[in-house]
Amino acid sequence: MSDRFLLGHGTENDFVVLPDPDGDRWPEDRLDAALVRCLCERRSGLGGDGVLRVVRSRHVPDAPAVLGDHLDACEWFMDHRNADGSHAEMCGNGIRLFLHVLVTEGLLDRAACADGVLVGTRGGPRRVGADAGGGYWVDMGPARPFGHGEATVAGRAFPGQAVSMGNPHLVCLTDADLGTLDLTAQPGFDDGLFPEGVNVEFVQVLASPAEGADAHVRLRVHERGVGETRSCGTGACATAYAALAARSPEPEGPQHGTVVVDVPGGRLTVDVSPATTVLRGPAVVVATGDLTPEWLRA
């Protein structure tokens, strides 16, 4: 049997996707951190910001603990790894690509996804659906602010808001020219506030929310376990919350509004409400192929 893969992206946040419906192709002891790092290598591997294993929840040892009562409702599980081999709780671009792969691989009927299907993640169940325009949406759950911190880049401090989207973010609204920031290294952060590490967003507000009009922001992101990426879906959601909160009379409270988020790899849209956060954007499969025995042996 071949070791089939797909390469795909959501707003250029790119992933190696490994179909493993019955959990027997890529169990954790085979898809270990070292193999994930090799797959994500851009010169000697396939290249990607991470790996998505497409597997039924019942074959994932972690699934009962992270899905609880929702285990039976989540047929599929997005087993996400960062490029360094670490697990992340959630991936907003990855989960749209995950649904797209289920559809293109014939594992789910696109028409059946209009109202969304529940997908298991290490951050809990998430509802993901296909929209009429060919893109995908995901109900990410409410943004949860948990304090304020500071990122440092080349000795310069950027104050920011800590926001959880299942995974941790530090959103720094700034007037700095985003193009001049050197994000080749992990920005400094307070590891007391972020003991598990953090994804850091640097955000320029292009248009503030106004009556009846969407807010519009631009961001660059340095991702935990990856480095600078061209997009981050959970980061876009955390950013949308923080941009609305910054203009709100109740900055720590629930927020409401739509935010258009420009990332280096394209555009995402985020609807924020007190109950939840809905992320919308594209997902693209670029190529499919087989890993060679020669590469796997090496």
Ligand X SMILES: N[C@@H](CCC[C@H](N)C(=O)O)C(=O)O
Which residues bind to ligand X, rule: CB under 6 A? 13, 82, 88, 91-94, 167, 199, 223-226, 229, 232-234
Residue 252 marked as a ligand binder: no
Q: Tell me which amino acid residue 226 is.
A: V
CB-side exposure of 223: number of CA atoms within 13 Å?
A: 29
- Catalytic residue status for 91: yes
* Separation of alpha carbons 200 and 181, rounded Å: 12
Which pair of structure tokens corresponds to residue 22?
């019955």
3-state secondary structure of 124: strand
CB of 298 to ligand X, least distance (A): 27
Residue 223 marked as a ligand binder: yes
Distances (CA, A) of 177 to 52, 164, 181, 185, 205: 33, 26, 7, 18, 11
CB-nearer residue toward ligand X: 102 or 238: 238
CB-nearer residue toward ligand X: 180 or 184: 184
- Catalytic residue status for 232: yes
Residue 258 marked as a ligand binder: no
| Helix (H), strand (E) at residue 97 | helix 92-104
Angle formed at CA 186 by CA 225 and CA 146, multiple of 5 degrees: 80
CB of 89 to ligand X, least distance (A): 7
CB-nearer residue toward ligand X: 239 or 258: 239
Distances (CA, A) of 127 to 43, 92, 173, 294: 35, 11, 29, 39
Q: Burial, 19: exposed, middle or buried (Cβ in 10 Å; 0-12, 13-18, 19+)? A: buried
Q: 42: closest CA among 284, 178, 265, 229? A: 229
Which pair of structure tokens corresponds to residue 200?
């850091």
Residue 229 marked as a ligand binder: no
CB of 135 to ligand X, least distance (A): 15
Indicate which residue of 40, 74, 172, 232 is catalytic: 232
Indicate which residue of 40, 74, 91, 237 is catalytic: 91
CB of 271 to ligand X, least distance (A): 16
The label of the residue with tokens 């989540």 reads 74
CB-nearer residue toward ligand X: 6 or 97: 97
CB of 199 to ligand X, least distance (A): 5
Residue 199 marked as a ligand binder: yes
Residue 233 marked as a ligand binder: yes
CB-nearer residue toward ligand X: 100 or 224: 224
Binding-site entries:
13, 82, 92-93, 167, 199, 223-224, 233-234
Active site residues: 91, 232
Binding-site entries for substrate:
13, 82, 92-93, 167, 199, 223-224, 233-234
